Structure 1
Amino acid sequence: MKEPLPTSGRLPTQLKVKYGPVDLLGRFFLWADTAARERGVTLSFGSLQDLLEANRGNSDSWRPLVPVFDEALGGVTPETAFVLIGRNKDGEVVATQAARLYDWPETSLKDEAASLRMFYADPDAAFARENRCKITTPIAEKITGRVVFSGGIWYRRDFRGKDLGTILPRISRAYAFTRWNSDFTIGMYADAVIAGGLAERAGYTKVERNCIELVASPLGEMRCGLSWMQSDELLADLAAILDRVRAPVMGSRIAEDANH
């Protein structure tokens, strides 16, 4: 059965804490939503089509989406993905973040990437277009189970440098965990992006550069690195963030909503 995403109200009141510690996750969502608003960004859930349209409308500063988030190419569905949209005071889309769930109990990131099943609903057609993916790091063989791919990341130029990269990726990971009880969260970043420190600012505990060769339509050819973390590291990162910042205390209404 499809689990509909809420579409109105402040983000923390839209979220349900299904898995994980309610107090920690509730406090984190409240802090993150407040921190985004302090930077002029109001967060809400959007559709995969919203993500695709935002990508196409900002091609001057955003490469085409990886097919992971393309319903036509990648076979992703609303049941296996969600999209966060950040808007400015005028309602314009200025930031995006998305996540997709994979269930790999008998296989691994290495196999799913190399077979192109991770990226395409029709891997044979993708191979015929000379698409390919090779991951050389040994950890790819150990990333199994419920794996969340975190991506679809974009910030409009005038909203870069506002530290949104420390906020939105964490919201995405935390919500994916509490919705799906994920075992791993992974991301693929261009090596130049990793060199700029974005993966570390996003809270990833493990990052390996230059370990992925990817040719994917319509993205093109690129070399990138892999970031990954397990659920216990994810929760520890959220706790560390709340220790460092002045995190708001959960109100009774938000606590109630988060637990249902």
Structure 2
Amino acid sequence: MFPDPNDQATLDVSAAIAVLQSRISKLGLTLKESADFDLFEKTIRATEDRYLMEDFSPRFFDLHGKTAFWVGAYNSHDNVVSVQAAKVEELQDRSLAEHWQQQQRRMFVDPNPQARIGTTHAHDAYFMRGRIVYHGNLWLRKDVRGQGLAEPLTQLGFLLSLLKWSPDYLYGLMAAKSAEKGFGIRVGYRRFVPRGTHWEIAPGHIRHDDWLVYSTRADLFGLAKTILRTSGEDPE
């Protein structure tokens, strides 16, 4: 009997997660995963930025273990130095762009009538359907930025999402400046569209220049293989 390639892929993803955990641990950090988004909000509000994205706010969504999770990274004093979150949407009957049209209105326009959402969203979003993961609210404390933490932490979030939900797509919205500098490719995104959500009048705290950045399921499996292939090159 030949081995099931999907079983091997799952083993590859699990092994890649272990590599990432080891890299993060060597930097003196401990990881904690949770589906408690009331705790996520409390954790975010205690940080220097205090920015909780509406997508991960219990005020707007019922977030629970089957549909969402967050990961915190903590130093030796048990102080949080990084957070990130992900949630999955079943978009079998509508595209991601159509989903945005409804969801962004609910989160941003209804509470702020001065904001106005447009209809010309990222091109690829009109063709993205199925099981789609949104990854966001990535935050690093200022004193640990520039130490190579963003890459393994973000990749960990991607691969956890892959194991949990086997999504058709995983996406984020990234500032154009970061995307143009190659940050997206370093953290694991493989596809880039120079427009995200189209705003005619954006809410004050929302960037109007975001790019849609995303990976397919195959891209994510490829990321896991890349992590394993290069793991032997890590300095001890």
- Under TM normalisation by the shorter chain, which class is it? 0.7 to 0.9
| Equivalent residue, structure 2, for 1:90 | 77
Residue number in structure 1 paired with 2:211? 225
Q: Which of 216, 220, 224 matches 1:234?
A: 220
The equivalent of 1:101 in structure 2 is 88
Matches of 1:90 and 1:147 in 2, distance apart? Answer: 36
State the Cα deviation string for residues 53-75 of structure 1 (Å, max 9, x = none): 2322234xx37232110011244
Deviation (angstroms), 1:38: 1.0
Cα distance in 2 for partners of 1:94, 1:216 equals: 30
Instruction: Confirm whether residue 140 of structure 1 aligns to residue 125 of structure 2.
Output: yes
User: What's the counterpart of residue 11 of structure 1?
Assistant: none
* Partner Cα distance (1:221, 1:115) in 2: 19
Amino acid at match of 2:46: G
Query: In the alignment, which residue of structure 2 is the partner of 1:125?
Result: 110
Deviation at 1:156, TM superposition (A): 0.6
Letter paired with 1:109: L
CA contact (8 A) 2:115 2:203 kept: no
State the TM-score, normalized to the length of structure 2. Answer: 0.84
Corresponding position: 1:40 with 2:25: no
Q: 1:24 aligns with which of 5, 12, 34?
A: 12
- 1: CA distance between counterparts of 2:223 and 2:105? 27
Deviation for aligned residue 1:23: 2.0
What secondary structure does 1:76 align onto? Answer: coil
Cα deviation code 1:43-98 (max 9, x no counterpart): 11133223322322234xx3723211001124433431100000001000001111
> Is 142-151 or 40-49 further displaced after alignment?
40-49
Change (3 A) 1:219 1:157: same
Deviation at 1:20, TM superposition (A): 7.2
Match of 1:51 among 19, 35, 40: 40
The answer to whether the 8 A contact 1:207-1:227 is kept is yes
- Give the superposition deviation at 1:237: 1.4
Once the two structures are TM-superposed, the CA of residue 134 in structure 1 deviates from its matched residue by 5.0
For the pair 1:198 / 2:187, whether they are aligned, the reply is: no
Q: TM-score, normalised by structure 1?
A: 0.77
Q: What is the aligned partner in structure 2 of residue 169 from structure 1?
A: 154
2:64 corresponds in structure 1 to: 77
Which deviates the most, 110-119 or 29-38?
A: 110-119
| Secondary structure of the corresponding residue to residue 185 of structure 1 | strand
After superposing the two structures, state which structure 1 stretch, 62-71 or 110-119, moved more: 110-119
Q: Distance between the aligned counterparts of 2:233 and 2:208, measured in 1? A: 39
Amino acid at match of 2:38: Q
Is the 8 Å Cα contact of residues 84 and 138 (structure 2) preserved in structure 1? yes
SS at match of 2:60: helix
Q: CA deviation at 1:153?
A: 0.2
| Structure 2 residues not aligned, in runs of 5+ | 1-5
Q: Deviations over 1:180-236 (max 9, x none)?
A: 121100000122222343211111111223443457778445321110111011101
Contact 1:204–1:228, Cα closer than 8 Å, also in 2: yes
CA distance in 2, matches of 1:52, 1:217: 21
Identity of aligned residues (%): 19
